[in-house]
Structure 1
């Protein structure tokens, strides 16, 4: 299943990039705080970053990965993360569905950024030719 995972790829392409999440962990899109609600480039950074489900740490870049997870697995990972961070875990199934729908049509390997609730392509998927063995 295609999911969003934290990545350091393309970090530094923008002057306000940051990557504190764990490389490869599932990420979600948090609501922006009052400080960033009008400007995704605001001082907090929550209007332009993804949040790691395990670390709860942010990154401004994520990558589309194909992982052996079901929709139910993604919802459970999200439910657990929300509960651990003090959010309402009943949102998990709906939020997981929205995240999965958001990336469904993007090729694996695409690196994306975030502008509020939209993802923007920062680097298209790169085709790696098969090596002859």
Structure 2
């Protein structure tokens, strides 16, 4: 299955890069705060980041990889991470938890379907694009 993982490839080619995830860690596309959505040039930088499912930290570069991973494995990893981070807390109704989970899995799938394996991608709000490779 194609997945998003944290990478150091192309990291540092933009002065706005950051990398706090563990290289190879599975990633998701977290929600953006209002400051970054409305004023990305003055916000916190979350609109440029992919979130680490294990570290719960972020990075601006993700790589598309092929791994021996099932859809059920990814669903469990995302569910566990979002629960640990409080996104799927006990007060959230089950139907809403399922909606959030489905949206996160769809976002990951849309990115991995669109790009080839080994592509390094970056994010600008709701847009994901291939990172230029510099020597």
User: Shorter-chain-normalised TM-score: which range?
Assistant: 0.7 to 0.9
Shift of 1:40: 3.4
Matches within 5 A, 1:1-133: 1-88=1-88, 89-90=97-98, 91-123=100-132
Local SS of the residue matching 1:64 = strand
Shift of 1:32: 1.0
Local SS of the residue matching 2:35 = coil
| TM-score, reference length from structure 1 | 0.85
Local SS of the residue matching 1:102 = helix
**Distance verdict in 2 for CA 1:123–1:74, change over 3 Å:** farther
Structure 1: runs of 5+ lacking an equivalent: 125-133
Structure 2: runs of 5+ lacking an equivalent: 89-96
Q: Which deviations, in whole Å up to 9, do the C-alpha atoms of 1:49-95 show, x marking residues without a partner?
A: 10100001010000001011111111110000000000025322442
Q: Which runs of 4+ in 1 moved over 3 A?
A: 39-43
| TM-score, reference length from structure 2 | 0.84
Count residues in correspondence: 124
